[in-house]
Amino acid sequence: MPPAAQPPEPAAAQPSGPSSAPSSTPPRERRTRAVDRTVLITAALATALVLCALLAAGIGAYRIPLGDVLASAAHRLGLGGHALDRVPESVLWNVRLPRVVLALLVGGSLGCAGALMQGVFGNPLAEPAVIGVSSGGAVGAVACIVLGLDALGSWTVTAFAFASGLLTVFAVYLMARAGGRTEVVTLILTGVAVNAFCGALIGIFLFTADSAAISQVTFWQLGSLAQATWGKVLAVLPFALTGLAVAPLYARKLDLLALGERPARHLGVDVERMRLVLITVVALLTAAAVAVSGIIGFVGLVVPHLLRMLAGPGHRFLLPASALGGALVLVAADLAARTLAEPAELPLGVLTALLGSPFFFWLLRRTRTRQGGWA
């Protein structure tokens, strides 16, 4: 008889070492790298902002060496240093530093407001002007200038611009609300209509204004920090600090909203209440900025999207980083505005529009290419 067939030997077990593991990076390592990247970007923004602010404080028609700027600041803070001569001390503390600090506050407010708007609307093309705060503030300022109102002295234009900006935003929200809810598309379309209406009102005021008023309105609409004072800094400060403090509290909810309104509601987010709170925060930040600086566009559009491309869409990083980035952009733009055409000064809003418009066109093209069309 032939020998019985031997059973086949079991296949050798494959080693379970690293060579058989998938090549993708583990989630924990990816998270660590993302955190490291956001910390690095935040530190770089803060360092660049400090350096740019120090340069802006010293550079101008009357130049003050960086060492003298640091010595005077240390002397005022009681940390040593020494006081400067009468002229450089006056230029530094009465002209330059109020302007630099106001640029920090306005830029930070616009950058954070832009990040909030893009999160609330779920669209990287959104900015604070969408809901009418800028055009509403312009109507108040133009009306005040053309009608010659001065009930509050030098603060009249600022107060009217701030109040009308807030009122316009709440009018847009109320008109867009229906059935206890506010749809994003309805809110945007209402904002477009209100912006057009505000533009028509501004046109009527300009039609009836004299040449002096038209010149003042034009200067205000182009945006400038030339009239910065410590009083205006103190006027913006509470609104900027309030908005910048409240915004990060909604970072996680904005991340959930990015999944869509219905999933966010299932995860416990009161979308309507959050939208109302954040639109109010955006209105406070933007109205305060517009009231003291005029209309400065594209900061709230460009800065958050650049940071989103660098470090992702997480709002825990995006909101404070947008404030830092907006402040950096505006301090640098204001420095360029008053030094590129010395002794003349370029309008700040013109410079930000020159930089922001090409980026906006590129962003439109990039969005269209990625989505395969607008449909």
pLDDT tens string 296-308: 888 888 899 889 8
Q: Shortest CA distance to 287 belongs to which of 275, 301, 300, 303?
A: 300
pLDDT tens string 115-142: 999 898 887 777 888 888 888 888 988 9
Q: Model confidence at 16, in pLDDT bands (50, 70, 90)? A: very low
pLDDT of residue 151: 80
More confident residue, 34 or 15: 34
66: its two tokens: 């960086």
HSE (side-chain half, CA atoms, 13 Å) at 183: 6
Distance of CA 67 to the CA centre of its chain: 31
pLDDT of residue 20: 40
pLDDT tens string 218-269: 878 888 898 889 999 998 999 999 999 999 999 999 999 988 888 888 888 8
Residue 196 has pLDDT above 50, yes or no: yes
pLDDT tens string 18-38: 444 444 566 666 667 666 788
- How is 123-151 classified by DSSP, letter by letter? -TT--GGGGTHHHHHHHHHHHHHHHT--T
pLDDT tens string 59-73: 988 899 999 999 999
Give me the residue label for tokens 């034009």.
218
Average pLDDT, the chain: 84
Mean pLDDT, residues 308-317: 86
* Spatial distance between the Cα atoms of 265 and 272, rounded to a whole number of angstroms: 10
* Spatial distance between the Cα atoms of 224 and 157, rounded to a whole number of angstroms: 14
φ, ψ dihedrals at 177, nearest 5°: -85, 135
Residue 47 has pLDDT above 90, yes or no: yes
pLDDT of residue 34: 66
* List of residues 6+ apart from 161 with CB closer than 8 A: 137, 138, 140, 141, 144, 287, 290, 291
Q: Shortest CA distance to 110 belongs to which of 69, 165, 51?
A: 165
First and final C-alpha spacing in the chain: 79
* Spatial distance between the Cα atoms of 36 and 107, rounded to a whole number of angstroms: 25
Mean pLDDT, residues 3-14: 45
* Spatial distance between the Cα atoms of 159 and 151, rounded to a whole number of angstroms: 10
pTM equals 0.84
Mean pLDDT, residues 311-336: 92
pLDDT of residue 28: 66
C-alpha angle 227/104/194, rounded to 5°? Answer: 75
Quick one: fold of 48-364?
A: ABC transporter involved in vitamin B12 uptake, BtuC (1.10.3470)
* Of the listed ranges 62-71, 327-336, 363-372, the one predicted with least confidence: 363-372
Mean pLDDT, residues 97-123: 92
101: its two tokens: 């600090």
Q: Model confidence at 277, in pLDDT bands (50, 70, 90)? A: very high
HSE (side-chain half, CA atoms, 13 Å) at 161: 28
Q: Model confidence at 11, in pLDDT bands (50, 70, 90)? A: very low
* 320 cis-preceded (ω within 30 degrees of 0): no
116 within 8 A of 169, measured Cβ to Cβ: no
